[in-house]
Amino acid sequence: MSTQTVSKQQRNNQDFVIVKKLATARFPVYLARSPKDNKFYALKVYPYEDGKVSKFYLNECHFVDLQHPNVISILECQQLKNSISNGKQIKISYILMEYAVNGDFYDLLMTRRITLDEKLVRTYFRQLIHGLEFLHSKGIAHMDIKPDNLLLDENFELKITDFDLSYYEGDEETTGAGTQYYRAPELIEGYCEDPQSADIYSAAIVLFVLKTGGKLPHTEHETYQGMNLCHMMHHDNPKFWKIHAQVQERPMSFFDEDFRTLFNMMTCLRPCDRAKIPDIKKTKWHNGPIYGKEELKNIMKKKLLMQNT
């Protein structure tokens, strides 16, 4: 068997015991246990396409060397592995990653219905910006920032994952259009000259979702109760915030001036007007209080314990 492996650690092309499916997005991700070291990993599987290795696998395995506290660690990329599916032998590629035991932010907000106070929102937003700053410094744009792609490790630290659509400086073109409701306007139009600026826009949408407990600021070109909130956000911003306060039955003070300023500067319609990460890090809201590592871990443990009782 011809096998090409990109690996930080030599695992001798070992087999894994599949425990369960973790995600069913574009490519399935499984919880896998290694009999060799008895540890758990996340295994992302890419079936061959027309007898060829998936282009999405080839893109994601470029990021095997990324090392940052807020970016998921890729441990191994293997281009060819024979596998069995529905009784038939198939060819797959796989990527082995660290396992983020506490799931993702979509599950946290939408399924478990965990609410985050302002300090928690800021803590996680700072971690997201920290991770994006690292990626951007390496010439990488993630291109699909959304709650589903933000994981929580055993210490409840945020980890950015899923790089199969990511852009590396020098690539001829971007390979994806982001995810509906989280993507920047230029991705909707199919023409993105500044991929890193698109990440900033998506990070702002995530910030809004964390702040509001899962509510989106807009639904792209769709209307809500006859209102185009996306158009309003860019062209009648004071009304946008007033409407959201009413719809969410919150006082205007919930969206305080510091928060609105940060969100607005990250979601400018034109990418060239959008805030850069150094601008974000200077804002008053960003520099408010956050939780320390032990505080964060203890608070999130209590929230999940209360939710399960």
By annotation, the residues acting in catalysis are: 144
- In angstroms, the Cα distances linking 182 to 154, 194, 203 are 26, 16, 8
Closest CA to 63 of 146, 147, 131, 154: 131
Integer Cα distance of 112 and 137 in angstroms: 34
Q: Determine contact, residues 29/43, Cβ cutoff 8 Å.
A: yes
H-helix segments, 138-250? 185-189, 195-212, 229-235, 237-247
Closest to 174 in 3D by CA, of 189, 161, 187, 184:
187
Structure-token match 């259009």, residue found: 177
List, as one string, the DSSP characters of 43-71: EEEEE-BTTB--HHHHHHGGGTT--BTTB
CA distance 100 to 159: 8
